[in-house]
Amino acid sequence: MSRRVIGPDEDHHVHSTFSDDAVSTPAQNLAAADRAALRVVRMVDHVRESTTYVPEFLAAVRALPRIEGLTVLTGVEAKILDADGTVDAPPEVLASIGEPHGADRVLLADHQVPGPDGPWSPHATLQRIVDGLDPQDVIEMLLTATIRAIQRVGPAQLAHPFSVLPKIGISEDDVPDELLDALADVAIAAGTLVEVNEKWQCPSTRVADRWRAAGVQLVPSTDAHTEADVGRYEWVCTA
Ligand SMILES: [Zn+2]
Ligand SMILES: [Zn+2]
């Protein structure tokens, strides 16, 4: 029930061929958004610190034909690198987020666990847990890094929050309320959007309900890597 209320006529996370793992052009994604009768689509591609294509990507999106009733937004998706909340994106891209010449938002992604010494792969994290690291410490590290990342960047959106947890054998149910509330406070203060993500089926209903009740602005996203998935929800709309 709770996931149903967040506007299925919006899709805040759609990848194009500017991402090396996606297959549709921005124009194809725009046409798909139109066919799906979306009101809002956010064009997003992956960046890392060495990425150089962002001006070209933004120019391509801005050159798209206007479609009546469809708002096109932009974003760059970057992973949170470490426990300090360092974000894996070119500094000039981060500096221009929310500016007229920059992307509208940076999508902060938990593709790896942000460790004190840099990103930990799920495999390396699992090994540390086997070796005695307390899963609660991993959860706290992830939440702290996410909070710090929000505070370091301009307008942000949390991409698929907690998608990394199942990869390291941790359930969202193990994330304590007080950490959820601490993240909510920071997200609200910063105006951070938080995705409910179709591809990764996260966050859980418990988490989404708690954040919504706290006043966090949740947005639906498919994380589409092909035009066929743009604006198509099953999990997001069927809870
Ligand atoms: Zn991602
Ligand atoms: Zn993505």
Per-residue pLDDT of the chain (239 residues; tens, 9 = 90+): 345 456 789 999 999 999 999 999 999 999 999 999 999 999 999 999 999 999 999 999 999 999 999 999 999 999 999 999 999 999 999 999 999 999 999 999 999 999 999 999 999 999 999 999 999 999 999 999 999 999 999 999 999 999 999 999 999 999 999 999 999 999 999 999 999 999 999 999 999 999 999 999 999 999 999 999 999 999 987 54
Distance CA(154)–CA(234), nearest Å, equals 31
Q: Which ligand is nearest to the Cα of residue 18, counting in written order?
A: 2
Q: And the tokens for 140?
A: 């706290």
Q: And the tokens for 143?
A: 């939440």
* pTM score: 0.96
Q: How far is the CA of 21 from the centre of ligand 2 (A)?
A: 10
The C-alpha angle with vertex 71 and arms to 67 and 73, in degrees rounded to 5, equals: 125
Q: How far is the CA of 160 from the centre of ligand 1 (A)?
A: 7
104 three-state secondary structure: coil
**Is 190 inside a domain boundary?**
yes
Taking a 5 Å cut-off on Cβ, the residues next to ion ligand 1 are 109, 159
The H-or-E segment that residue 161 falls in is: none
Q: Which ligand is nearest to the Cα of residue 221, counting in written order?
A: 2
Inter-helix orientation angle 177-190/135-152, to 10°: 10
**Is 69 inside a domain boundary?**
yes
**Is 85 inside a domain boundary?**
yes
**Is 23 inside a domain boundary?**
yes
User: Residue 175's domain is classified under what CATH number?
Assistant: 3.20.20.140
Look at residue 239 in the predicted model and tell me its pLDDT: 47
Number of separate domains in the chain = 1
DSSP state of 127: H
Polymer length of the chain = 239
Q: How far is the CA of 48 from the centre of ligand 1 (A)?
A: 12
Distance CA(70)–CA(94), nearest Å, equals 26
Q: How far is the CA of 4 from the centre of ligand 1 (A)?
A: 22
Q: Which ligand is nearest to the Cα of residue 110, counting in written order?
A: 1
Look at residue 237 in the predicted model and tell me its pLDDT: 76
Q: Which ligand is nearest to the Cα of residue 164, counting in written order?
A: 1
Distance CA(122)–CA(128), nearest Å, equals 10
Q: How far is the CA of 136 from the centre of ligand 1 (A)?
A: 23
Look at residue 8 in the predicted model and tell me its pLDDT: 81
Q: How far is the CA of 70 from the centre of ligand 1 (A)?
A: 24
Amino acid at 177: D
Distance CA(28)–CA(194), nearest Å, equals 26
The residue range of the domain holding 75 is 10-104+112-159+169-220
Q: Which ligand is nearest to the Cα of residue 80, counting in written order?
A: 1
**Is 213 inside a domain boundary?**
yes
**Rg from Cα positions in the chain:** 17
**Is 232 inside a domain boundary?**
no
C-alpha distances (whole Å) from 103 to each of 76, 78, 93, 211, 237 are: 7, 12, 8, 26, 28
1 three-state secondary structure: coil
Distance CA(49)–CA(106), nearest Å, equals 13
C-alpha distances (whole Å) from 46 to each of 49, 62, 104, 224 are: 10, 18, 14, 12
The C-alpha angle with vertex 231 and arms to 226 and 233, in degrees rounded to 5, equals: 105
**Is 4 inside a domain boundary?**
no
Q: How far is the CA of 75 from the centre of ligand 1 (A)?
A: 12
**Is 146 inside a domain boundary?**
yes
Q: How far is the CA of 112 from the centre of ligand 2 (A)?
A: 13
Q: Which ligand is nearest to the Cα of residue 111, counting in written order?
A: 1
Look at residue 6 in the predicted model and tell me its pLDDT: 66
